Structure 1
Amino acid sequence: MSNDWRAARVSEVRSLIMAAEPGIIEEVKWRKPSNPDGVPTFSLDGLVCTVETYKDKIKVTFAKGASLPDPATLFNASLDAGTRRAIDVKEGDSLDADAFTGLISAAVAVNRE
């Protein structure tokens, strides 16, 4: 398995995040020797989500995911967490772009409450 699919999915997810809400800011945080590239974080009026790359998946973690409506049931990880929720995307998984951008918009709305 190559890194290519993960890089392509991160690029796709990044594009969806940036297109979902004007004004979203991407920063890289938490650089360390075991992860020199750091973690892309996306914020607008507070943290919206992070995107992490693992060997077998990319993980999009929503900072306030437990507060968000998820009618398309995209959240499939961290379901027992008190505040966060995450979406694990594995090679070959489809991601509903409309539902995903809806989650981004909902996350921004919660940040603005």
Structure 2
Amino acid sequence: MTPSPRSAVPDWRARRLDHLRSLIRAAAPEATEEAKWKKPTNPAGVPTWSDHGILCTGETYKDKIKLTFAQGARLPDPHQLFNASLDGGTRRAIDLKEQDPLDEDAFQDLIRAAVAYNRGA
């Protein structure tokens, strides 16, 4: 059986990304997911969630998962989930290493805020 692009990395990163995917689906059921930016070094591409524009991407690195929010600088982050790409004028990211905790409710609030921003609400 050939692994799906979602499980191309069969370790903690794939499991964590699948869990994040389920949180995103629950928070933004109308969002679509597609693989973007496919290249020889990453044939599966980068999971990208969109709803009236890109919400976030989920990149897999050797030591972390990076969730980059396209309009992160414009989103409320009262729980301070953003911990990477903080100097940019538009994007913000959440880097998660294997044992890093994640406030799932706050993460889903951030996803909903991204949807609302993209929809102009």
TM class by shorter-chain length?
over 0.9
- Counterpart in the other structure of 1:34: 41
**1:30 offset after TM fit, Å?**
0.6
Gaps of 5+ in 2: 1-8
Post-superposition Cα deviations, 1:27-77, rounded to whole Å, max 9, x if no partner, equal 001100111110000000111000000000000000000000001100000
Once residues 34 and 43 of structure 2 are traced to their aligned partners in structure 1, the CA distance between those partners, rounded to angstroms, is 14
Amino acid of the structure 1 residue aligned with 2:114: A
- Counterpart in the other structure of 1:60: 67
State the superposition RMSD in angstroms. 1.1
**Could you tell me the TM-score, scaled by structure 2's length?**
0.90
Residue from 3, 11, 25 that aligns with 1:4: 11
Identity, in percent, stands at 67
Once residues 28 and 59 of structure 2 are traced to their aligned partners in structure 1, the CA distance between those partners, rounded to angstroms, is 20
> Would you identify which runs of 4 or more consecutive aligned residues in structure 1 move more than 4 Å?
none
Aligned pair count reads 112
Gaps of 5+ in 1: none
Post-superposition Cα deviations, 1:59-98, rounded to whole Å, max 9, x if no partner, equal 0000000000001100000000110000000010111100
**Could you tell me the TM-score, scaled by structure 1's length?**
0.96
Residue from 97, 113, 116 that aligns with 1:106: 113
